[in-house]
Amino acid sequence: MSTKLGMKHFWPFFWKLANPKVFMRWSGLCLPWIIALTVLCLGTGLIWGFFLTPDDARQGSTVKIIYLHVPSAFIAINGYFVMVLGSLFWLVRRQHVSVLVAKASAPIGMTMTVIALTTGAIWGQPIWGTYWVWDPRLTSFLILFLFYIGYVALWAAIDDQDKVADLTSVLALVGAVFAILSRYAVIFWNQGLHQGTTVTIADGVSQKNISSIFFQPLLLSMIGFGLLFLTLLLIGARTEIRAQRLQVLEGLERLK
């Protein structure tokens, strides 16, 4: 009942955010609080994980890399889904704010993919004996990174804003296949060196393949990385909205 009531109010508010003025007002109000929460969660999660958790019996101190690797991989994949949703809303409803949110999401997701690939390689060397293998999850993650690069490069290559929004949206939708593959590769192909998922949500319940002593700071780090993504996304989207307004004003000045 309360969920239905919540959704009843959520969707009208969500669609109102497609109005740039409403988006700027609400994001401006929320941003300082989200920044404070980001610093709190990310700082606490990483300090807890790095300084206050024990070494793993088999992996030694390399287990501390989990507090960077899992959250960044989580955001790399889900950041792509934000891009896909923004692109989809643009293609269906032609809302500029949605595609600008997608545009702002790409460099953050790309950075998170680099962090996940780099920390994974650093972790892999002592544990697997190699920095890289053509494992299904690693390979699909690398392809996801290439899609991120392609998406960012396409935005930079074309001046016509509506045309580039259409093209990048289609590219984002095509790349969604690899975001799904990256997420579920360890389930689709039961092979390769990469372990199964550390945390999964099944039937609304979180299931974890990790001891609670590591899980609690990991969860906090994941929330911290999620909030960092949201912070940068809001800053980026606000900048893109302002940049679009600036382009219009400068265009009018040139006509005078």
Q: Which of 13, 30, 36, 55 binds other proteins (CB under 8 A)?
A: 55
Q: Which is nearer to other proteins, 6 or 126 (CB)?
A: 126
Q: Which is nearer to other proteins, 79 or 175 (CB)?
A: 79
> Does 160 engage in binding with other proteins (CB under 8 A)?
no
Q: Which of 72, 78, 169, 182 binds other proteins (CB under 8 A)?
A: 72
Q: Which is nearer to other proteins, 162 or 250 (CB)?
A: 250
Residues in contact with other proteins, shown as a per-residue x/- string from 203 to 232 under the rule CB under 8 A:
-------------------------x---x
Q: How far is the CB of 64 from other proteins (least distance, A)?
A: 5
Q: How crowded is the C-beta side of 116, counted as CA atoms within 13 Å?
A: 29
Q: How far is the CB of 5 from other proteins (least distance, A)?
A: 36
> Does 236 engage in binding with other proteins (CB under 8 A)?
yes
Q: Which is nearer to other proteins, 91 or 114 (CB)?
A: 114
What are the φ and ψ backbone dihedral angles of 158, each rounded to 5 degrees?
-120, 135
C-beta of residue 149 within 8 angstroms of C-beta of residue 113: no
Instruction: State the virtual CA torsion across 22, 23, 24, 28 in degrees, nearest 10.
Output: 110
Q: How far is the CB of 128 from other proteins (least distance, A)?
A: 12
Using CB under 8 A, count the residues that bind other proteins: 37
> Does 249 engage in binding with other proteins (CB under 8 A)?
yes
Can you tell me the distance from the alpha carbon of 62 to that of 127, in angstroms, rounded to the nearest whole number?
Answer: 8
5-13, 80-88, 103-111, 155-163 -> range binding other proteins (CB under 8 A)? 103-111
Q: How far is the CB of 181 from other proteins (least distance, A)?
A: 24
> Does 242 engage in binding with other proteins (CB under 8 A)?
yes
> Does 122 engage in binding with other proteins (CB under 8 A)?
yes
> Does 44 engage in binding with other proteins (CB under 8 A)?
no
- HEC sequence for the chain: CHHHHHHHHHHHHHHHCCCHHHHHHHHHHHHHHHHHHHHHHHHHHHHHHHHHCCCECCCEHHHHHHHHHHHHHHHHHHHHHHHHHHHHHHHHHCCHHHHHHHHHHHHHHHHHHHHHHHHHHHHHHHHHCCCCCCCHHHHHHHHHHHHHHHHHHHHHHCCCHHHHHHHHHHHHHHHHHHHHHHHHHHHHCCCCCCCCCCEEEECCEEEECCCHHHHHHHHHHHHHHHHHHHHHHHHHHHHHHHHHHHHHHHHHHHHC
Binding interface with other proteins (CB under 8 A): 46, 50-51, 55, 60-62, 64-65, 68-69, 72, 107-108, 111, 114-115, 118-119, 122-123, 125-126, 228, 232, 235-236, 238-239, 242-243, 245-246, 249-250, 252-253
